[in-house]
Structure 1
């Protein structure tokens, strides 16, 4: 197998499924490229009076099922190909969940830790100023992603209001509840990951109390996943962030670790830390990659001892790594299903904004759990019917729904 970038790998997977389903070749041609990509240069005046240019992107892969939907990330490794790949994953993700959205993604090449609060806010506002023509509640709806949160969404919403001259809360999701955000949105992705893990454990006959969990990544998704698993009685034995790994075969005190990470910025210095890359060698039954792309590779996949891999991050497994996991018989819950809780609750937020309603957190969480469990069951049933992996079954369902929608709209014969 040759090395491929995520975009090419996605295209090959989509093409394979289109051919398997005997769909019109036009379906693949439509899904092969994004509808549009937008690249912007943002000259930011720094606190010392100097000006530094930052590059930002926004891509809409598809608006077949509805307006584009996808997060905005701030990271030094952001690039246009990554943004396109992530927008393609969003198209598949929303199709699996039967949400009224297409796929989109955005980002800025920046290390937010090197900016002051004022600089970060100004960069966020200037980004919105630049992409304003291509976003909106019926065109493309941003949300948080890596290194962005409700505070950043609030700044962006405020800037969009100024540009439009009116209140348009549904233009962005992941906002603080006080300005129209949904209860439970911050925790939604992690909660969805846990729903998928519990569903998989049930299918595989695994008992909660007898299984060990290792989590790579301790940001929003990783920490919420760890906390929720901890509360549900699972034994989280290892957690790693970019600086360190913490391991205890008897189980970790997750609430204490979350407090420590918030206070110190990372897990470095919490007990006797080990190298974060050693997370792949931990003796565990469930492994949760909740960091960045391409973490489970041909180098790391052979080291994993887990029976279940729950992809809390987007694209954490390379093509080579995925093949190795399949050969080992590992039950992989693919990213386009596993981490879809965030976009699901974003859809709830969008609906609440549209109807000028506000749901209680219990209502949000109950609907999230039911809808995620239903989506898991549909993918699992497809897997069992075709004796395929969960990833292939998820792609099969998503592409079939997209193909059916294209036919219904007259895009293909």
Structure 2
């Protein structure tokens, strides 16, 4: 039985280390403070008895739990990231432990009147009677993805202490900079040496995901002409008005706030505008590859039409693909999803198989040759002050890791 107190102590020791990543940095990891937890994790893996523990010049951590069976078993991996999102402060995290949650409002910060309420965050109703770890309302928590880190380390420790659980070789990988889209960029798949892996980076207990968005980033630059406004008739071209035409020409209801499930979208992330030049930054998302390509064509066609309308190049549009739907790479090896699903069922967890409305390191890794579905880590309300994680969900995720290892050995 995995100790609740042990899980809490380990998790708290991780989230109180600030590891926020920085999208404006060109280094890897993008912030020096990520090294604080990276070095701690490498030491901890050695302490619990993992073999071949390494940490490279970019803070990527790998370790091995050797097989304890005498027959050939596929090498599997478990991966999580130790950085936290730049969306909200992660400095001076003060976790709060809520024992036997009563199903009512949780006052995170009385002084600032910050309340975590089930009236707004309905998922809280799922965890009545359980132990929750929350923020103090002034920072994020970091369960994304330090819950995943905690679960993997705890599972490896449990397997080491319980050799009666038979398993093949298991590889562990911890990455920096996932939150800024670079977690897999310098991951050495060949060195990792697994046949397949799982990221422990989902949310609600039971989540099992092998589909994600196809993704592209778009930069639209609009050129105008600045002339003294008192003498501008027939001469001034206000780039912000042309940019507004571009914005209004895209499907208004195909935006994040109007879509769900498998529906894709165009998302305007930022506008920087003056008369002379305006820049728009978009992201394009769609689960269907054909629809994804069609969305890119819509933006290209709109650019051509506006340039023709103004009889000169007033708009340039740069589109860069970011990642693709890992479904294409996982479906040919669906047994790896089946094993995870069976593990959950044997532990009396209802599998929630759904598509990710986002990306994951697993997507990039799948296209790098390491098929990598995503499994729940247990947290909710990521990237903000209302983030929380039920301890019981972390324990169950730890048990799922152990069960996957056991089932893989049995099925070999």
| Bin for the TM-score computed over the shorter chain | under 0.3
Calculate the TM-score normalised by the size of structure 2. 0.25
Structure with greater strand share of residues: 2
Bigger radius of gyration among the two: 2
* Structure with more contact order per residue of length (Cα contacts < 8 Å, sep ≥ 6): 2
